[in-house]
Amino acid sequence: MGEFENIDLVVKEGILILTINRPDKMNALNVATVEEIRTAFRRVYDDNEIKGVIVTGEGPKAFVAGADISEIAALNEMNGRKFSENGQEVFALIENCHKPVLAAINGYALGGGCELAMACHIRIASSNAKFGLPEVSLGIIPGYGGTQRLTQLVGKGKAMELMMTGDMISAEEARSLGLVNHVATTQDELLPTCEAMLHKIIAKAPLAIGMVVSCANAVYTPGENGFQTEANSFGSCCKTEDFKEGTAAFLEKRTPNFKGE
Protein backbone atom coordinates (compact mmCIF):
# COMPACT_ATOMS: atom_id res chain seq x y z
CA MET A 1 0.00 0.00 0.00
CA GLY A 2 2.82 2.39 -0.83
CA GLU A 3 1.02 4.43 -3.47
CA PHE A 4 0.31 7.36 -1.12
CA GLU A 5 2.56 10.36 -0.50
CA ASN A 6 1.16 11.68 2.77
CA ILE A 7 -0.23 8.64 4.56
CA ASP A 8 1.10 5.15 5.30
CA LEU A 9 -1.16 2.09 5.41
CA VAL A 10 -0.21 -1.14 7.17
CA VAL A 11 -2.57 -4.08 7.76
CA LYS A 12 -1.83 -6.11 10.89
CA GLU A 13 -4.07 -9.01 11.93
CA GLY A 14 -7.07 -7.52 10.18
CA ILE A 15 -6.44 -4.00 11.53
CA LEU A 16 -5.51 -1.20 9.14
CA ILE A 17 -3.14 1.31 10.74
CA LEU A 18 -3.45 4.61 8.84
CA THR A 19 -0.62 6.98 9.71
CA ILE A 20 -0.60 10.62 8.66
CA ASN A 21 3.02 10.93 7.54
CA ARG A 22 4.06 14.57 7.21
CA PRO A 23 6.24 14.94 10.33
CA ASP A 24 8.12 17.92 8.91
CA LYS A 25 4.73 19.72 8.82
CA MET A 26 3.58 18.31 12.18
CA ASN A 27 1.32 16.03 10.09
CA ALA A 28 -0.81 19.00 9.03
CA LEU A 29 -3.74 18.19 6.76
CA ASN A 30 -3.48 19.63 3.28
CA VAL A 31 -6.01 18.97 0.52
CA ALA A 32 -3.92 16.14 -0.92
CA THR A 33 -3.78 14.37 2.44
CA VAL A 34 -7.54 14.66 2.93
CA GLU A 35 -8.05 13.09 -0.51
CA GLU A 36 -5.70 10.24 0.38
CA ILE A 37 -7.71 9.64 3.55
CA ARG A 38 -10.86 9.51 1.41
CA THR A 39 -9.29 6.90 -0.89
CA ALA A 40 -8.08 4.84 2.06
CA PHE A 41 -11.49 4.75 3.73
CA ARG A 42 -13.23 3.79 0.52
CA ARG A 43 -10.89 0.80 0.54
CA VAL A 44 -11.83 0.07 4.16
CA TYR A 45 -15.51 -0.05 3.18
CA ASP A 46 -14.82 -2.53 0.36
CA ASP A 47 -12.02 -4.75 1.70
CA ASN A 48 -13.40 -7.67 3.70
CA GLU A 49 -9.94 -8.44 5.08
CA ILE A 50 -9.95 -5.14 6.99
CA LYS A 51 -11.94 -5.52 10.21
CA GLY A 52 -11.09 -2.22 11.91
CA VAL A 53 -8.93 0.91 11.61
CA ILE A 54 -6.50 2.87 13.77
CA VAL A 55 -5.74 6.44 12.68
CA THR A 56 -2.56 7.99 14.07
CA GLY A 57 0.23 10.44 13.27
CA GLU A 58 3.90 9.90 12.49
CA GLY A 59 6.45 10.79 15.16
CA PRO A 60 6.27 11.61 18.87
CA LYS A 61 5.00 15.21 18.65
CA ALA A 62 1.82 15.41 16.61
CA PHE A 63 -1.25 13.42 15.70
CA VAL A 64 -2.27 16.19 13.32
CA ALA A 65 -1.34 19.72 14.38
CA GLY A 66 -3.93 21.41 12.16
CA ALA A 67 -4.63 22.21 8.55
CA ASP A 68 -2.17 23.59 6.02
CA ILE A 69 -2.41 27.33 6.71
CA SER A 70 -0.84 28.26 3.37
CA GLU A 71 -3.79 26.63 1.60
CA ILE A 72 -6.35 28.20 3.93
CA ALA A 73 -4.87 31.69 3.45
CA ALA A 74 -5.73 31.54 -0.25
CA LEU A 75 -9.44 30.77 0.26
CA ASN A 76 -12.34 33.07 -0.60
CA GLU A 77 -16.03 32.73 0.24
CA MET A 78 -16.89 30.43 -2.64
CA ASN A 79 -13.97 28.02 -2.53
CA GLY A 80 -13.89 28.26 1.27
CA ARG A 81 -17.36 26.73 1.39
CA LYS A 82 -16.25 23.96 -0.98
CA PHE A 83 -13.11 23.40 1.12
CA SER A 84 -15.24 22.91 4.23
CA GLU A 85 -17.81 20.70 2.51
CA ASN A 86 -15.09 18.47 1.07
CA GLY A 87 -13.50 17.90 4.47
CA GLN A 88 -16.88 17.27 6.06
CA GLU A 89 -17.62 14.67 3.40
CA VAL A 90 -14.37 12.79 4.00
CA PHE A 91 -14.75 12.86 7.79
CA ALA A 92 -18.35 11.63 7.43
CA LEU A 93 -16.91 8.57 5.66
CA ILE A 94 -14.96 7.89 8.85
CA GLU A 95 -17.83 8.61 11.24
CA ASN A 96 -20.28 6.43 9.30
CA CYS A 97 -17.86 3.57 8.64
CA HIS A 98 -19.50 0.23 9.51
CA LYS A 99 -16.17 -1.01 10.85
CA PRO A 100 -14.72 0.31 14.14
CA VAL A 101 -12.35 3.27 13.78
CA LEU A 102 -10.07 4.31 16.66
CA ALA A 103 -7.91 7.43 16.86
CA ALA A 104 -4.51 6.86 18.47
CA ILE A 105 -3.69 10.45 19.39
CA ASN A 106 0.07 10.61 19.86
CA GLY A 107 0.58 14.36 20.31
CA TYR A 108 -0.96 17.63 19.17
CA ALA A 109 -4.51 17.28 17.81
CA LEU A 110 -5.37 20.83 16.86
CA GLY A 111 -7.85 22.26 14.37
CA GLY A 112 -8.33 19.73 11.61
CA GLY A 113 -6.46 17.17 13.70
CA CYS A 114 -8.94 17.46 16.55
CA GLU A 115 -11.74 17.26 13.97
CA LEU A 116 -10.21 14.11 12.48
CA ALA A 117 -9.98 12.50 15.91
CA MET A 118 -13.60 13.40 16.69
CA ALA A 119 -14.78 11.77 13.45
CA CYS A 120 -13.36 8.45 14.70
CA HIS A 121 -15.63 6.27 16.84
CA ILE A 122 -13.30 6.01 19.85
CA ARG A 123 -10.33 8.14 20.90
CA ILE A 124 -7.31 6.98 22.91
CA ALA A 125 -4.56 9.51 23.64
CA SER A 126 -1.02 9.41 24.92
CA SER A 127 -0.43 11.47 28.04
CA ASN A 128 1.44 14.18 26.07
CA ALA A 129 -1.48 14.80 23.67
CA LYS A 130 -2.99 18.28 23.43
CA PHE A 131 -6.38 19.17 21.95
CA GLY A 132 -7.82 22.40 20.65
CA LEU A 133 -9.79 24.20 17.96
CA PRO A 134 -7.85 27.48 17.61
CA GLU A 135 -9.38 28.60 14.31
CA VAL A 136 -10.79 31.88 15.66
CA SER A 137 -7.17 33.03 16.05
CA LEU A 138 -6.99 32.93 12.23
CA GLY A 139 -10.29 34.70 11.70
CA ILE A 140 -12.15 31.50 10.75
CA ILE A 141 -14.03 28.70 12.51
CA PRO A 142 -13.67 24.91 12.50
CA GLY A 143 -14.85 23.74 9.08
CA TYR A 144 -14.49 19.96 9.04
CA GLY A 145 -17.39 19.27 11.41
CA GLY A 146 -15.69 20.49 14.57
CA THR A 147 -18.46 22.84 15.71
CA GLN A 148 -20.92 19.95 15.57
CA ARG A 149 -18.88 17.04 16.95
CA LEU A 150 -17.22 18.92 19.81
CA THR A 151 -20.65 20.11 20.97
CA GLN A 152 -21.97 16.54 20.78
CA LEU A 153 -19.04 15.13 22.74
CA VAL A 154 -18.49 17.68 25.52
CA GLY A 155 -21.71 19.70 25.66
CA LYS A 156 -22.55 23.14 24.37
CA GLY A 157 -21.11 25.26 27.16
CA LYS A 158 -17.63 23.74 27.18
CA ALA A 159 -17.57 23.49 23.39
CA MET A 160 -18.38 27.20 23.09
CA GLU A 161 -15.61 28.04 25.55
CA LEU A 162 -13.00 25.96 23.75
CA MET A 163 -13.93 27.24 20.29
CA MET A 164 -14.26 30.89 21.35
CA THR A 165 -10.99 31.02 23.31
CA GLY A 166 -9.04 28.67 21.06
CA ASP A 167 -7.45 27.22 24.22
CA MET A 168 -5.58 23.92 24.23
CA ILE A 169 -6.42 21.26 26.79
CA SER A 170 -4.43 18.30 28.07
CA ALA A 171 -5.16 14.64 27.44
CA GLU A 172 -6.44 14.22 30.99
CA GLU A 173 -8.79 17.19 30.71
CA ALA A 174 -9.99 15.85 27.37
CA ARG A 175 -10.70 12.52 29.06
CA SER A 176 -12.59 14.17 31.90
CA LEU A 177 -14.77 16.02 29.37
CA GLY A 178 -15.55 12.89 27.36
CA LEU A 179 -13.55 14.04 24.34
CA VAL A 180 -11.14 11.13 24.90
CA ASN A 181 -12.11 7.64 26.04
CA HIS A 182 -8.77 6.62 27.57
CA VAL A 183 -5.28 7.99 28.15
CA ALA A 184 -2.27 5.70 27.71
CA THR A 185 0.50 6.39 30.19
CA THR A 186 3.26 6.35 27.57
CA GLN A 187 3.47 6.63 23.80
CA ASP A 188 4.81 3.08 23.67
CA GLU A 189 1.56 1.86 25.17
CA LEU A 190 -0.69 3.84 22.81
CA LEU A 191 -0.87 1.57 19.75
CA PRO A 192 -0.96 -1.68 21.76
CA THR A 193 -3.85 -0.25 23.81
CA CYS A 194 -5.73 0.63 20.63
CA GLU A 195 -5.00 -2.74 19.07
CA ALA A 196 -6.22 -4.58 22.17
CA MET A 197 -9.49 -2.65 22.15
CA LEU A 198 -9.99 -3.21 18.42
CA HIS A 199 -9.37 -6.95 18.75
CA LYS A 200 -12.00 -7.02 21.51
CA ILE A 201 -14.49 -5.21 19.23
CA ILE A 202 -13.83 -7.20 16.06
CA ALA A 203 -14.38 -10.45 17.95
CA LYS A 204 -18.04 -9.41 18.19
CA ALA A 205 -20.65 -9.72 15.44
CA PRO A 206 -19.51 -7.34 12.65
CA LEU A 207 -23.01 -6.64 11.28
CA ALA A 208 -24.17 -5.70 14.76
CA ILE A 209 -21.14 -3.43 15.24
CA GLY A 210 -22.01 -1.61 12.01
CA MET A 211 -25.59 -1.15 13.15
CA VAL A 212 -24.41 0.26 16.49
CA VAL A 213 -22.56 2.93 14.48
CA SER A 214 -25.66 3.75 12.43
CA CYS A 215 -27.93 3.95 15.46
CA ALA A 216 -25.54 6.07 17.53
CA ASN A 217 -25.08 8.49 14.64
CA ALA A 218 -28.86 8.68 14.15
CA VAL A 219 -29.04 10.62 17.42
CA TYR A 220 -27.48 13.57 15.60
CA THR A 221 -29.10 13.13 12.19
CA PRO A 222 -31.77 15.81 11.61
CA GLY A 223 -35.14 14.33 10.71
CA GLU A 224 -34.17 10.79 11.63
CA ASN A 225 -36.04 8.96 14.38
CA GLY A 226 -33.22 7.25 16.23
CA PHE A 227 -35.56 4.95 18.11
CA GLN A 228 -37.07 3.73 14.85
CA THR A 229 -33.59 3.29 13.39
CA GLU A 230 -32.75 1.18 16.42
CA ALA A 231 -35.90 -0.96 16.09
CA ASN A 232 -35.29 -1.46 12.37
CA SER A 233 -31.67 -2.40 12.98
CA PHE A 234 -32.61 -4.77 15.80
CA GLY A 235 -35.02 -6.50 13.44
CA SER A 236 -32.34 -6.72 10.77
CA CYS A 237 -29.96 -8.34 13.25
CA CYS A 238 -32.54 -11.00 14.02
CA LYS A 239 -32.44 -12.34 10.46
CA THR A 240 -28.65 -12.78 10.35
CA GLU A 241 -26.61 -15.94 10.68
CA ASP A 242 -24.49 -14.11 13.26
CA PHE A 243 -27.59 -13.76 15.47
CA LYS A 244 -28.24 -17.51 15.27
CA GLU A 245 -24.58 -18.23 15.99
CA GLY A 246 -24.32 -15.77 18.87
CA THR A 247 -27.41 -17.01 20.69
CA ALA A 248 -26.53 -20.67 20.06
CA ALA A 249 -22.99 -20.12 21.35
CA PHE A 250 -24.33 -18.45 24.50
CA LEU A 251 -26.74 -21.31 25.20
CA GLU A 252 -24.03 -23.90 24.45
CA LYS A 253 -21.49 -22.04 26.61
CA ARG A 254 -18.90 -21.68 23.83
CA THR A 255 -17.17 -18.84 22.01
CA PRO A 256 -19.17 -17.68 18.96
CA ASN A 257 -17.69 -17.82 15.47
CA PHE A 258 -19.11 -14.77 13.70
CA LYS A 259 -18.81 -14.52 9.92
CA GLY A 260 -20.52 -11.22 9.20
CA GLU A 261 -23.48 -12.95 7.57
Active site positions, annotated: 115, 135
Q: What size, in residues, is the chain?
A: 261
Listed in sequence order, the residues at least 6 apart from 181 whose beta carbon sits closer than 8 Å to its beta carbon are 122, 123, 124, 175
How many whole angstroms separate alpha carbon 144 and alpha carbon 116? Answer: 8
Q: For the sheet with 130-132, list strands across it.
A: 62-64, 108-110, 130-132, 169-170
CA distances from 64 to 42, 124, 125, 231, 255 (A): 21, 14, 13, 38, 39
Burial of residue 222, with CB atoms counted within 10 A of its CB: 0-12 exposed, 13-18 middle, 19 or more buried: exposed
Q: Which residues contact 149 (CB under 8 A, 6 or more apart)?
A: 95, 115, 118, 119
Taking each helix axis from N to C end, the angle separating 226-237 and 206-218, rounded to the nearest 10 degrees, works out to: 170
